Structure 1
Amino acid sequence: MQTDVLEVDTTRRRTVDVTEEVRSFCAGRGDGLCNVFVPHATAGLAIFETGAGSDDDVVEALERLLPRDDRYRHAHGSPGHGADHVLPAIVAPSVTLPVQDGRPLLGTWQSVVLVDLNRDNSQRSVRLSFVRG
């Protein structure tokens, strides 16, 4: 298995497209699977179309589902931080992509996106792992 780690800053964006980094990581590796994993209890990864407002729509939908208030038992950190700990139950902490000839088999409009609503920690690691088929 081959691995690499990306360091991502989410200070300015709640969603960060990491598709190009995934493509670069897979290039020249042949056929197999690429797993993308975020080892954080308050972030996740999703595959969706970016741009044209989709990024903001995803964030707004998640914020409606997970309001930042005092309803959560997990109560440390900024107000509503408990919502951040529920996020990975909705947006999984990993995605696995089939890779053919060193290219992730994503659809035309699909992107691999780090989703991070947590305002208390903006420094994220994203682990890429490749297993040959």
Structure 2
Amino acid sequence: MPDAFITRVLHINSGSQERVVDLTRDCETFLHEEAADRDGLLNVFVPHATAGVAVIETGAGSDDDLLAALHTLLPADDRWQHRHGSPGHGRDHVLPALVPPHATLPVVGGRLQLGTWQSVCLVDTNKDNAGRQVRLSFLG
């Protein structure tokens, strides 16, 4: 019987600009290689204090809209108590309260069960840290 719990760490370079990085293909590849037509759950976790995971539409402007909304909710200015890093970096430490650092998604027959326009994305507003890890874990 295949392992009931399998995990893999992705290394993502998100660059020096705020970004929404589509991880859907990475998730699908992981499940294709490891889920073996089983049902279960995929957990996507970002072990960083300044990044999150969102399930949103990409490619039609929604990813840019998300970043714009985060700018409205969390302006990059000097209001934040957390002050190390680039100006306004304290907002990046509040981000995971709004965009959690994890998502758990259903897998049926080894395939990720997303809606038609949904994508699994890393949301990274921290311009000071381009190197990110994303842990994919399948339980099934």
Instruction: Give the structure-2-normalised TM-score.
Output: 0.92
Preserved contact between residue 31 and residue 111 of structure 2 (Cα < 8 Å): yes
Offset at residue 13 of structure 1 (A): 5.6
Partner letter of residue 7 of structure 2? T
**Runs of at least 5 residues in structure 2 that lack an aligned partner in the other structure:** none
**Runs of at least 5 residues in structure 1 that lack an aligned partner in the other structure:** none
Match of 1:68 in 2: 76
Question: Which of 115-124 and 9-18 deviates more?
Answer: 9-18
Preserved contact between residue 11 and residue 133 of structure 2 (Cα < 8 Å): yes
Offset at residue 90 of structure 1 (A): 0.1
How many residue pairs match? The answer is 132
Question: Which of 10-19 and 99-108 deviates more?
Answer: 10-19
Match of 1:116 in 2: 124
**Map 1:85-96 → 2, pairs under 5 A:** 85-96=93-104
Offset at residue 55 of structure 1 (A): 1.1
Superposition CA RMSD, Å? 1.0
Match of 2:24 in 1: 19
Secondary structure, aligned partner of 1:20? helix
Offset at residue 53 of structure 1 (A): 1.0
Percent identical pairs in the alignment equals: 61
Instruction: Give the structure-1-normalised TM-score.
Output: 0.96
